[in-house]
Amino acid sequence: MARQALPVDGTRDSYPLGRVLLALEDPQRTLTIEDVAQTAIAARFQPALPPRSNVDVNFGYSESAWWLALPLALDAGAATRWLLEIGYPSLDWVEVYVPRPGGGHDKLVAGDLQRFSERPYPHRNLVFPLTLAPGEAQTVYLRVVSAGNLTIPATLWQPDALAHHDQLAYSLLSLYYGMLLALGIYNLLLYLAIRDTTFLAYVAFTVSMAIAQASMNGLGNQFLWPEWPAWGNVALPSGMAATGFFGAIFTRLFLGTRQRAPLLDRYIAGCAVLLAFTAFSPLLLPYQWVAVLVSLLGILFAAVAVFSGVYCVQRRYPGARYFLLAWTFLLLGGAVLGMRNLDWLPTTWLTFNAMQIGSALEILLLSFALGDRISGMRREKELANEAALTARQQMVEALRKAEHELESRVAERTVALETLNSQLREKETQLEHLVRHDPLTGLANRILLKDRVERAVTRARRSHNGVALLMVDLDGFKQVNDAYGHSVGDALLVVIAGRLKECVRETDTVARLGGDEFVVLLEETRHPRGTGHIAEKLIAAVQQPVTLPAGTVTVSASIGIACIPEHADTAEELLDRADAAMYAAKAAGRNRWHAAPEIAV
């Protein structure tokens, strides 16, 4: 296993686990806990996230079973009772294997294919009670299978801490669903009062959104359909699809696209048909197909709705501005959620809750839009009664024309400013590159080298790895320069720079300090003897003949090596000792390398 065990002591009450988890894919779904616990297979586990990543584990849509290893090192004073929370209740099946003191593992199971009463711990998320042995290193294994998105936000809690955390989470969820309930009842009463089906479509849209969100955050499985896992498993994609369907119906009714924009209306109607089919498709299609289809259609319809809003705002339809703003928020939330589900974006708190945040703002603004629509209808009626007043009509037309001209000028100015800003950013990028790179060879210059050396030394101290710096000076370059001129010398330097880069890894740094002096920075070196092998490789590459238009020339290289921690403690000492070692190599006969003397411990 590639990462160290998570140290658990009595000073913290929760541990986010994304950066600690190790993952192993089981495409055939044949591995058992006895298999993965074996040393040979356990060695195949890899970090589930890159180092220093702050996102949650997300494998996108996958038909494989995924094994996760959680290595723990409990202090002697650590608590024995912990709760492992998987904060994505839409996962189909999660098995947790807790090591027993006498050998073997205890198995805990939870998921949305399971009745809520069968869960090992009553919670809207998937929570597993763990009994761990203090003062021992132990590994907890998880096996996750799901036809939907495989997001695994894992946290290790002390029981009291999770309860305290749930108070805030449930309070926010209560506000969200309370808002949905209030707006739904309010607009239902408006529908009963004025019999405008637009309000009924809004109510259906709100109810569908509430069902989808209740499934996503686990409240549906806990309170609404706890003994109906077959529905709980498909409530999320079906609810999202139904939300899109009623949203499309609401869009057509609210904007009146059938009369005002027939072509646009056909696109909205097409989206509605696809979303209606998707809402019932779990009866016909595999869950994973449905989930991917919902994600893609959510992005598509949100874009169509926003385009419709822009179209109607330009034509000053009543309530169109609120409508556009509302669907823009939902577009952002739905697009972020869809791209997170497809693993195009990392799973963070914002991307995980993007749909809920966007939907809350969208539903609130749509309610304002309906109110604005009623006000607009009243204004239109008043204007119709005053149609005989020609002077008023002319004034209104003049104001409209002036507004359109002003909007056009603002748009032109905006485009011009955006173009200028783009050019400035491009120039800034070019200038930054010139400041930090050698203009002749394109290598890092002294400024960039200093920065990278200091960063490499800092990382080496943190990870207990080594850093090596090779000071390379060309032998015989001055004679070539004097004999053929500076243009040939410059061409030779470009060739030598390319050879040096080819001899090292892409993650290493090759820099030119000036003249014929180069530096090679090697990170994550284990021993200076290995660095000598690299130095010999560089020497061999440099002394190969170089064919230039003015003729074939040959130079060699003298290399000084200094390493951390063997030869230096700081970045400045590393550069100084490598430089001194290079001069020692020259004094010893050139065309060779020399390592700095080790410092006393």
Tell whether the model's pLDDT for residue 294 goes beyond 90.
Answer: no
> What domain count does the chain have?
4
From start to end of 3-136, where are the E strands? 6-8, 14-16, 22-26, 46-47, 57-61, 65-74, 81-86, 93-99, 105-110, 126-131
Cα–Cα dist 113/67, whole Å: 19
State which amino acid sits at residue 406: L
Residues 116/227, Cβ–Cβ less than 8 Å: yes
Give yes or no: residues 484 and 529 share one domain.
yes
pLDDT score at 571: 87
- 184-193, 335-344, 525-534: segment of lowest average pLDDT: 335-344
Give yes or no: residues 129 and 41 share one domain.
yes
pLDDT per position as a tens digit, 123-172: 999 999 999 888 888 999 999 999 888 989 999 999 999 999 989 888 88
Q: How many C-beta atoms surround the C-beta of residue 350 within 10 A?
A: 13
CATH of the domain at 526: 3.30.70.270
Give yes or no: residues 471 and 548 share one domain.
yes
pLDDT per position as a tens digit, 329-339: 766 776 676 56
Q: Higher confidence at residue 383 or residue 181?
A: 181
Report the pLDDT averaged over residues 255-279.
89
SS (H, E, C) 203-237: HHHHHHHHHHHHHHCCHHHHHHCCCCHHHHHHHHH
Q: Does any domain span residue 359?
A: yes
Q: Does any domain span residue 1?
A: no
Residues 6+ apart with CB under 8 A from 234: 282, 287, 290
Sign of the torsion angle spanned by Cα atoms 267, 272, 275, 276? negative
Strand partners, 56: 347
- What are the phi and psi torsion angles at 520 (to 5°)? -120, 125
Of 176-180, 367-371, 562-566, which one has max mean pLDDT?
562-566
CA atoms within 13 A on the CB side of 394: 3
pLDDT per position as a tens digit, 426-475: 777 677 777 788 888 889 988 899 999 999 888 888 888 889 999 999 99
Residues 510/493, Cβ–Cβ less than 8 Å: no
Residues 6+ apart with CB under 8 A from 110: 86, 94, 119, 120, 121, 126, 127, 128
Q: Which two tokens stand for residue 123?
A: 């919670």
Give yes or no: residues 103 and 192 share one domain.
no
Report the pLDDT averaged over residues 408-437.
78
Quote the domain boundaries for residue 32.
6-157
**SS3 category, 23:** strand
Give yes or no: residues 233 and 363 share one domain.
yes
Percent of the chain scoring above 70 in pLDDT: 89
pLDDT score at 599: 75
Tell whether the model's pLDDT for residue 70 goes beyond 70.
Answer: yes
Q: Does any domain span residue 416?
A: yes
pLDDT score at 26: 95
Q: Which two tokens stand for residue 59?
A: 């494998």
Give yes or no: residues 305 and 372 share one domain.
yes
Tell whether the model's pLDDT for residue 598 goes beyond 60.
Answer: yes
Question: What is the distance in angstroms between the CA of the first residue and the CA of the last residue of the chain?
Answer: 32
469: nearest Cα among 558, 572, 561, 557: 561
The DSSP symbol for 283 reads G
Strand partners, 68: 23, 142
CATH of the domain at 352: 1.20.1070
Cα–Cα dist 405/408, whole Å: 5
Give yes or no: residues 430 and 471 share one domain.
no
> Which of 344, 368, 385 is a domain's end point?
385
Torsion, Cα of 251, 302, 334, 345 (10° steps): 180
Give yes or no: residues 243 and 333 share one domain.
yes
Q: Does any domain span residue 162?
A: no
Cα–Cα dist 423/578, whole Å: 42
Q: Does any domain span residue 143?
A: yes
**SS3 category, 523:** strand
> Which of 95, 125, 157 is a domain's end point?
157
Q: Which two tokens stand for residue 450?
A: 């200093």
**SS3 category, 128:** strand
The pLDDT mean for the chain works out to 85
Report the pLDDT averaged over residues 231-236.
87
- DSSP letters spanning 373-417: HHHHHHHHHHHHHTTT-HHHHHHHHHHHHHHHHHHHHHHHHHHHH
Strand 6-8 to strand 65-74: parallel, antiparallel, or no bridges (unpaired)?
A: parallel
pLDDT score at 342: 53
Residues 6+ apart with CB under 8 A from 134: 74, 75, 76, 77, 78, 79, 80
CATH of the domain at 141: 2.60.40.2380
